[in-house]
Every structure is written in C-alpha cells, then in structure tokens.
Structure 1
Amino acid sequence: MTPRLRVRALIAVALFSLVGLADAADPKTLRVGVRGGTDEQIWEVVTQVAKKNGLNVQPVVISGAASPNEALNNGDLEANSFQHIPFLRDQIKQRGYKLAAVGDTYISPIAFYSKKYKAIKDLPDGAKVAIPNDPSNQTRALVVLRDAGLFTLRDGFDPYTGTASLADVTGYKKKINLIESASVVLARSLEDVDTAAIVNTFAYQAGLIATRDGIAVEKREHNPYVNIIVVREQDKNAPWVAPLVKAYQSEEVRQFIQKQFGGSVVPVF
C-alpha cells in the first residue's frame, strides 16, 4: 500500500468508527477533523451550538500518522481545526494542498517563566535566557522578547511569511545570553537559567499557566500562531462555512474554553 493510500485507509477507519457510514456519506453532515484532547473537547461544544442553529457537525478525531490536512484535501472531511497558519503554510508548500483558513479559534500561548524574577524587565545584564531550538517555537519566543523590548529583529522579518533565528537578532537593548534547547527540556531547566520560554504543552504538564505564571506572554493580536479552522479552497465561500465559524466563535464556546482550560488556552474571537 502506498503512503497516500495508507493515510486514506486510516482516515476511512476513523470515519467509520466515529461518524458511521450513513453520516460520512450525508452531505448535510459537516465532518471536521480534529486531534484528540483540547480540540476534541472544544468541538463537542461547537457541535451543540451548531445544532441549535440547524447545522449538523460531526467532529472526527484523527490520531497517529493520519493527516487531517490530507483527509481534507482529499475530500474525506469538510473542514479541520488543529493547526496554526505557519504549519498550514508549510504543508501547502510541501504537499501542494489547496486549503484555506476561514476562521480563528484559540491560541495556546508560549510564555517565559522564571523562578527568580517577576517580570521580564527585571532580568539583569548577562541573564541566561533559554529558548526552544525548533524553528517555529524559537520564532515565537524571539517575538515575545522583541515585543518586551529586549532587542530588535532584522528588517523585513514577518512571522506570517517566515521564521526567525538567533542570526536575526539585532540591536540588543540589554545584554542577555540566549541559550537554545529542546522544548521538552526547558520546563525542567528553570532552576538552571534566569528565564525560559516554555510551550504550552510542557508548561501545563509542569503546572504552569501562561496567563497566570508567565513573566512575558505571547500576544494574541496579529499573531500567525493562532489556531484556525481550515477548508478546501473551493469551499471557502460555501454557504455552510460562515455558520460553522460562527458556531465556534460563539459566547458558549468562549466561556467553555475560559472555564475548562483556565488560561492555558485563550480564545481569540
């Protein structure tokens, strides 16, 4: 079996077990691909809101090697909701998908945490500042430090179209030592540095919440790392798209996110 057929087979299994053959074949049912966990929980609420407005939505949890973007591109789903714009951009570039973002959902903000300082402005000269070593999260961390006024980034940098690295840091306003490390390590390294940028997943596991414990937190405004609802390009103006986005961007969903996740996941609508 080719990789493409294998992925489609995995999607078919998911659709059969979670949607059922009747729903999968029913064009009145909007099948939305999600990952388990946060998105699965939120879409259970979205489904209830949509139903009250006459829209039949069926979340399809896709796990393992199966790709929600592959499934969507192939027409096995009507929409998906699990990714941010840079991830979608890279997928389109690498695989040629014809997909489009149609609505914002939430952000799981990256933040800097410290056991020594209460604010990023309190960092002394020579402070050890740990950041992730993967391109996406390193970019996010550097943008947070830039926005906090610690340095500037090269002219022309735009997180919507590219990533940033240490080579792009210019104009230090404070002498700090940037240290790269794997995201999985950073949450366990707070004792060894003055501050560290920790992605939401590992921060939450360590009992840290960005909006409560972060000394510098990623902004949600004008941020490409906000998660999105995605459909095929040919469907972006379909009559069901706006009601689907409206169901997600409802007060019921906002309140659920705020109550359920306590600031580790932040609605952006």
Structure 2
Amino acid sequence: MEYSIMERRTLVRAFALGAFTLTSVPAMMLAGCSKSEPAATDAPAVFRVGVTAGPHADIVTEAVKVAKTKGLTVEVVEFTDYITPDTALNDKKLDAAVYQHEPFLNAFNREQGTKLVKVADAVVQPMGFYSKKYKSVEDIPEGATFAIPNDPSNGGRGLLLIEAAGLIKLKADRGAEATLADIVENPKKLRIQELEAAQLPRSIDDLDVACVPMNYVISSGLSPEKDGFFFEDRNAPYALIIIAAREDNKDAAAVKTFVESYQSPDVRAFIEKTFQGQVRPAW
C-alpha cells in the first residue's frame, strides 16, 4: 500500500528551544523490517531525522524507503524553525538533521557549546531575492523595504546577497556573521527588516523584496522563475545543505546507513524529477 507524503511524516511544532512534542507517524510506516531483512548494525529501534517543512521533508521521506531496504527504520520529524532541530539533535531526541548549511551549524555550535558535526552533503539550494513588485536589481527604488531571515547565519547570508547585488557595503571580513550594524554604506537608504525565515514568503506582499531560502520558496508555492530575480552562486557554501549528526554518533552504522540511503540513485532521481533544478543533489 502507498502512503501520501503527509502520512509518512511527523509534524513537530516547537514553541521553545529544546522542547517539542513528538507525534508518531502511522504505525505501518514505522514498523520494523521483516524477519528476513537484516537489521543495521547498532541501529536504534527508530532512527529519527529532523527536517524543516518542504523539500527537506520530502527528500528525507523518499530516503525512508531506501533505508528500509537496508534494515533501518527512519522516522521523519518536521520542525517550523531552524534552532529547535539542532537543539533536539544535541539532546539525543534526534539521530540526524537535514535542513541547514555548514556555517549555520558552526554558528550554532559556537553559541550553544554543542558538538554537532557534518557527516555528508545533501542538496544545493540557493537563496534569492523575491518580490511581487520588482523583477531586477535595477528596478529596486530608493527607500525600498527588504527582509532577511532573523537567524544569525542566514541573516548574514541575506546581507551578503544584498551586498553582492551592489546595494549595500558591509564591514570587511564579516561574512555570514554580518548583522545590520555591519552595514557601512547604504546609498539607496534601504530599510532592512529581520523576520523569521518561515514568515518571509507570506510577508512578500507587505515588502518590496525578501531574501528567502529555497526550501521556504518551494514549500510556500513561490516560483524562482516568476517571483525571484537575483540568486546566490550555486557553489556558495551557504547554498549547500548538509546532513548533521553528533560527535558521539557520527561514525555509527545507523548514521552511515542513513547517509547511504539519502545519497542513493533513487533519491537522486526523486530530487531531479520533483524539483526540476530548483534543488540539486550535492553528491
């Protein structure tokens, strides 16, 4: 029997850091392998993977099927923010997470004193400018209202994108750690706001331009072709999404099995067919 994507997922809505309510996905989807299938060495009863809603959830859900053939039962746990998945991973409520780029992971480790690590590349998905009013950088008027994500590294990432478009200048060498206070030149007197990344797509009607991560573009129904007009280079480190685990489980057989399942030909074909180049395999 086939199950829909929504049936195969677990939805988690987190209201405070490090705390979330876990709702089990349908029992049949989490059932163990048949007796004839070998279990992955050192595998937990259920291998829990944290994702954000949209492409990451869809792709990991596809990897669930491959993992099952390898003897690993995977549960997909969805979050509505960027911080709580890493908090849950550190607290061992998750076994892996697929939703962030490495600079974000590094910033989280510095701020929280955690030891989360990259174990593999996942997909490439660039941030871009999105607007219902303008179609090019040249069209953006003086005093335009921009929005960027309010989390530390993606906020800096948005500022770097605005700088790359020639609209502002930042203090040298700040990189993705740049904040609004690091803007040293703003010739068009842009008004730059910080909003939660998930809120950016639904706020576009009230803004002139928003810097939106690709996963939220796709999950919201925005179109990079119709609504977007300036993007990160696809080789930018901030466009590369990674698979993360903990220092204490990075070499576990279950983690390796999940990575192999994610980086499989079946998942590659799913990504290429489903996202038509908006999201690309990184392996």
What is the TM-score with the length of structure 1 in the denominator? 0.70
* Partner residue, 1:230: 244
* Partner residue, 1:214: 228
Is contact 2:201–2:222 with CA below 8 Å preserved after alignment? no
| Alignment partners' CA distance in 2, 1:230 and 1:124 | 38
Letter matched to residue 261 of structure 1 = F
Is residue 2:199 matched to residue 1:182? Answer: no
Q: How many residues align?
A: 254
Deviation at 1:135, TM superposition (A): 4.0
* Partner residue, 2:148: 132
Q: What is the aligned counterpart of 1:88 among 105, 122, 126?
A: 105
- Per the alignment, in what secondary structure is the counterpart of residue 88 of structure 1? helix
Unaligned runs of 5+ in 1: 1-5
Cα separation, partners in 2 of 1:16 and 1:208, compared to 1, 3 Å: closer
* Mapping 1:91-170, distance limit 5 Å: 91-120=108-137, 122-123=138-139, 126=142, 128-132=144-148, 134-136=150-152, 137-159=154-176, 163-170=177-184
Letter matched to residue 153 of structure 1 = L
* Partner residue, 2:77: 62
Give the stretch that moved more between structures: 195-204 or 63-72.
63-72
What is the TM-score with the length of structure 2 in the denominator? 0.67
Report the structure, 1 or 2, having the larger helix content.
Answer: 1
Unaligned runs of 5+ in 2: 1-17
Deviation at 1:101, TM superposition (A): 1.0
* Partner residue, 2:8: none
* Partner residue, 1:3: none
Is contact 1:34–1:59 with CA below 8 Å preserved after alignment? no
* Partner residue, 2:14: none
Cα separation, partners in 2 of 1:253 and 1:151, compared to 1, 3 Å: same
RMSD: 4.1
| Alignment partners' CA distance in 2, 1:185 and 1:67 | 19
Is residue 2:274 matched to residue 1:260? Answer: yes
| Alignment partners' CA distance in 1, 2:227 and 2:175 | 28
